Amino acid sequence: MKLGANVAPGLDALQAASPNRLRGIRHHVTWSPDPAVDNRESEGILANATVREGAKVLSQKGWSLDGMIAFPPMPAVADFARGVPELPIILHHIGALNRVGLYANREGEVRAVWQARSAAVAACPTSTLTLGGLGMPRMGFDWHTRAVPIGSEALAAAMAPWMQYCIEQFGPARCIFEGNFPPDQVSFSYHVLYNACKRLSRAYSPAERAALCHDTAAKVYRIDV
């Protein structure tokens, strides 16, 4: 997208190479003031006019944009979504929470900031959120340090306050349970996560559970299954 309007030939080449399976692109825009974070982009990249021009080309093709950010710059995602209102945006890992490094031992402050900024992104109707990534060490749950791996019941209980807030804000029709493997594998197995998501979603209606586990993903990625 940093090519602006000149991104069109590259997108056309991708589409020609995969005419039936390509649905969009992912742009890793991770930047954080925490020196421990491996920055993938420059600060403020989503506000760059050329990047937004490239995003509009993506939108005109009917594709979506997957985005990976670092906590706490979520307001940039909301502003970007308002600036390119026709582009479906899938934001990963509950907005890339971080509870270590600069944000360690600041649980109340971090949660309040994360909640407010998640709600700002949720206010943009073209945004979708993936629910996962909590097994990554930077999320600060320390499951990767356990001598005995966490089970699905305990995992569901620990994830619930964070994921349920996301579902309340975005709604099941704009949330997707994600696996995020292999990164999450340092904390739990895929089967444990899968069962935890089933436990976590028990209170939702059958239609809402179907959305979280399948239908939202099929819709946003335009997959006919």
Length of the chain (residues): 225
Q: What is the pLDDT of residue 83?
A: 95
Bridge partners, residue 65, by sequence: 25, 89
Is the residue at 14 inside a domain? no
Q: Which CATH number do you get for residue 118?
A: 3.20.20.140
Report DSSP state, residue 175: E
Question: Does the residue 174 lie in any domain?
Answer: yes
Instruction: Tell which residue, 28, 97, 88, 81, has the closest CA to residue 216.
Output: 88
Phi and psi dihedrals of 169, rounded to 5?
Answer: -80, -45
> What pLDDT sits at residue 59?
96
- Domain assignment of residue 79, yes or no: yes
pTM of the entire predicted model: 0.94
- Separation of alpha carbons 198 and 194, rounded Å: 6
The one-letter code for the residue type at 171 is: G
Q: What is the pLDDT of residue 110?
A: 93
Domain membership flag for residue 172 = yes
Q: Is residue 15 part of a domain?
A: no
The tokens for 118 are 């998640």
Alpha carbons 113 and 122: distance in angstroms, whole number = 14
Provide the number of structural domains found in the chain: 1
Supply the range of the domain harboring residue 66.
4-8+22-220
147 found inside a domain: yes
pLDDT tens track, the chain, 225 positions = 999 999 999 999 999 999 999 999 999 898 888 888 888 888 899 999 999 999 999 999 999 999 988 887 788 899 999 999 999 999 999 988 899 999 999 999 999 999 999 999 999 999 999 999 999 999 999 999 999 999 999 999 999 999 999 999 999 999 999 999 999 999 999 999 999 999 999 999 999 999 999 999 999 999 987
- pLDDT given at position 184: 97
Asked whether residue 17 is assigned to any structural domain, the reply reads no
